Amino acid sequence: MTTIAVVDYDMGNLHSACKGLENAGATTIVTDSVKEMERAEAIVLPGVGAFDPTIQHLRSRDLIQPIKDIIASGKPFLGICLGLQILFEGSEEGSEPGLGVVSGMVRRFRPEPNITIPHMGWNQLHLTQPQIPLWQPLPHHPWVYFVHSYYADTADPTLTAATISHGTQTVTAAIARDTLMAVQFHPEKSSTAGLQILSNFVALVKSQSLVGAMGR
């Protein structure tokens, strides 16, 4: 059974994320223990709320450097919503530094006539890396569910795995680099497409574990 550690720092929709992963065949462990994260085959970092409290909660549990080390080790990692944003260097929402795993900043949507901030509800992804395992076998423009006022502005556009349009603004909705993946939307709330994405992540973790076992 594939074991995935879901990081517990009082800022995530843990139950829904766990249920989606378990439906895809994974065993989830909700934890703030670094040892349990290191033993798990993958990490999921969900998050709802604001940037600064998220960083502060992670720091209070001494999780910032361990999470960076786990990502650097190549263990599959999936960030969800704020779990994407905190990977960046910082945010216009607050003053705390981000993890800096990805170069770039988190920025607020520009006000425009006839758009709402926060961006809340269903929107269509444009898959800019359609070949990655996370998107198989989704259509090129799947509908997924968002709740956010800020978006990730990556300094390296090759990391962008999907975008969305909100008004005249086209912004990053997902990033991917090797085994590091993160999405701005909520797959656990995104019906069939979201459950497929979680299932794809579990399948990727299983394949990575198999490759690792064969190499030992």
Q: Where are the domains of the chain?
A: 2-215
Q: Note the pLDDT tens digit of each residue in 6-38.
A: 999 987 778 888 998 999 899 999 999 999 999
Q: Which of 18, 57, 148, 188 is catalytic?
A: 188
89 classed as catalytic: no
Residue of higher predicted confidence among 209 and 121: 121
* Per-residue pLDDT at 98: 98
Annotate the chain with three-state secondary structure. Answer: CEEEEEECCCCCCHHHHHHHHHHCCEEEEEECCHHHHHHCCEEEECCCCCHHHHHHHHHHCCCHHHHHHHHHHCCCEEEECHHHHCCCCEECCCCCCCCCCCCEEEEECCCCCCCCCCEEEEEECEECCCCCHHHCCCCCCCEEEEEECEEEEECCHHHEEEEEEECCEEEEEEEEECCEEEECCCHHHCHHHHHHHHHHHHHHHHHHHHHHHHHC
The C-alpha atoms of residue 126 and residue 142 are separated, in whole angstroms, by 8
Q: What is the value of pTM for the model shown? A: 0.95
81 classed as catalytic: yes
140 classed as catalytic: no
* Per-residue pLDDT at 207: 87
Q: Note the pLDDT tens digit of each residue in 45-95.
A: 998 889 999 999 999 999 999 999 999 999 999 999 999 999 999 999 999
* Per-residue pLDDT at 215: 52
Q: Which of 41, 57, 81, 148 is catalytic?
A: 81
* Per-residue pLDDT at 47: 87
* Per-residue pLDDT at 16: 86
Any idea what the Cα angle at residue 126 is, between residues 124 and 131, rounded to 5°?
130
Domain 2-215 has CATH 1.10.10.10: no
